Amino acid sequence: MSFSPLIRQLIDAFRILPGVGQKTAQRMALQLLERDRSGGQRLAQALSQAMDGIGYCRSCRSLSEEEICHLCSDLRRDESLLCIVQGPMDVYAVEQTGYRGRYFVLKGHLSPLDGLGPETIGIPELLGRINQGAFREIILATNPTVEGEATAHYIAQILADQELLISRLAHGMPLGGELEMVDGGTLSHALAGRRPIQV
Amino acid sequence: MSFSPLIRQLIDAFRILPGVGQKTAQRMALQLLERDRSGGQRLAQALSQAMDGIGYCRSCRSLSEEEICHLCSDLRRDESLLCIVQGPMDVYAVEQTGYRGRYFVLKGHLSPLDGLGPETIGIPELLGRINQGAFREIILATNPTVEGEATAHYIAQILADQELLISRLAHGMPLGGELEMVDGGTLSHALAGRRPIQV
Ligand SMILES: [Zn+2]
Ligand SMILES: [Zn+2]
């Protein structure tokens, strides 16, 4: 290995990023060192501030540096709709469709074999949130995968005795796909065509 | 835009990396925040240390945190060979072939139209380095592009009156390609088949 210790350390550190292998990490490290040191310093500071400063919104459980995130504290949003997603990236994807109701962010999906039960993914907090609100409809926007469908079905069951319309994103999304990878038009159609769920 | 200010700042900062667009930057930011905060902190620190601490080796002009890099200070290397490359990444590529002579790293290639003349790319420092050494052969390992060939030809000309064998990497490398993208086997053949240059 012919890189100096500090360069090796930087290349190794870049490899924690999704989709970044050895060769890409080398290009990233050397390109910053050769062409954009101030950009590299800005990235270092942005990383440090984000890793330290960002927690979870007490209301929707999405990532936020405020106790209540800017979406939850926006009073102009529709209080009758709650959209449940599997992760913070999905909030961004749904927001792009023009949806302006409320959100709740689960910590992933149910997966009993991996020890991911209702408590782990935040179902108690979800029930607390629903009881605090005055929702008319709960939109289950978990991924259209086996686990996402199972999670949606589980939530629909535990909410069945409440006076709530429970809906699911319309199919039209590719089966086995991930919400955050779907283009905005497809997701808009899926959201517009959401249907009541049967339990 | 539905991300909080600190997350937006992190996504923007990731976009300075080569090959990273908006969607990739989002995935990087959220994946670190959700799954690997300590990795994110390590990356922040590695970046900060590298951007601050890495300069250029006084001897070969490659990136190094020491005044003389670990390759130049290694006494076991062949003092009769000097390999001239266009950038630090190329040192790594040539080193992978098993070459164990000395290096000199230019700052890119000559490009008069862009104002990149001999002084800008480090030709005076190269001549100083050659005069300090006791080289028998100078290997011109600039890229096999029009600009790389022109740079090699220019250096061959100014060294023509010295008692030096001037060689060029054998063709066999893809024309128009970049040294750092070539696989090790091709580069090994090109290095082994290097030929005297005609001026
Ligand atoms: Zn919130
Ligand atoms: Zn050196």
Write out pLDDT tens, residues A69-127.
Answer: 999 999 999 999 999 999 998 998 899 888 999 999 999 999 989 999 999 999 999 99
Task: Identify the weakest region by mean pLDDT among A7-11, A58-62, A188-192, B51-55.
Answer: A188-192
Please name the residues in contact with B131: beta carbons below 8 A apart, sequence gap of 6 or more: none
Whole-model pTM? 0.79
Which among B17, B47, B91 is the nearest to A2, CB-wise? B91
CA distance A26 to A3: 10
Report which secondary-structure segment, H or E, holds A125: helix A123-132
Q: Note whether A44 contacts B41, CB cutoff 8 Å.
A: no
The pLDDT of residue A183 is: 77
Domain B5-53 has CATH 1.10.8.420: yes
Whether pLDDT at A175 is above 90: no
Secondary structure of residue B63 in the 3-state scheme: strand
How far does residue A188's CA lie from ligand 2's centre (Å)? 56
Domain ranges of chain A: 5-53, 63-168
Q: In Å, how far is B196's CA from the nearest CA of chain A?
A: 27
Give me the helix-helix angle, B37-53 and A37-53, nearest 10°. Answer: 150
**C-alpha A59 to ligand 1 mean position (Å):** 5
> Which of B19, B63, B66 lies at the smallest CB-CB distance from A33?
B63
* Chain B residues with CB-CB distance to A34 below 8 A: 63, 87-88
> Helices A37-53 and B5-14: crossing angle, nearest 10°?
150
CATH topology classification for B63-168:
Dna Topoisomerase Vi A Subunit; Chain: A, domain 2 (3.40.1360)
Handedness of CA B178, B183, B184, B186 (dihedral sign): negative
CA B19 vs CA A191, B108, B188: distances in Å? 32, 20, 28
Q: Which one of B1, B4, B59 would you mutate to disrupt binding with A, by most A Cβ within 10 Å of its Cβ? A: B4
- CA quadruple B131, B132, B138, B141: dihedral sign: negative
A186 or A72, greater pLDDT: A72
Task: Please report, rounded to a whole number, the percentage of residues in chain B having pLDDT higher than 70.
Answer: 96
pLDDT value for B42: 97
DSSP string, A1-25: --S-HHHHHHHHHHTTSTT--HHHH
Q: What is the pLDDT of residue B32?
A: 96
Q: Over the stretch B65-115, which tens digit does the pLDDT of each residue have?
A: 999 999 999 999 999 999 999 999 899 889 888 899 999 999 999 998 999
**A interface mutation test: which of B6, B52, B100, B179 has the most A CBs within 10 A?**
B6
* Ligand 1 ion local residues (Cβ < 5 A): A 57, 59-60, 69, 72
Rounded distance from Cα B176 to ligand 2 centre (Å): 28
Report residue A29: phi and psi, to 5°. -60, -50
Instruction: Name the residue facing A18 among B17, B28, B45 (closest C-beta).
Output: B28
- A143 within 8 A of A109, measured Cβ to Cβ: yes
Distance in Å, CA B64 to ligand 2 centroid: 7
Residue B102 to residue B152: CA distance in whole angstroms: 17
Whole-number pLDDT of residue B172: 62
- B43 vs A contacts (CB less than 8 Å): 13-14, 16-17, 44, 47
| Structure-derived torsion over alpha carbons of residues A32, A38, A44, A49, reported in degrees to the nearest 10 | -150
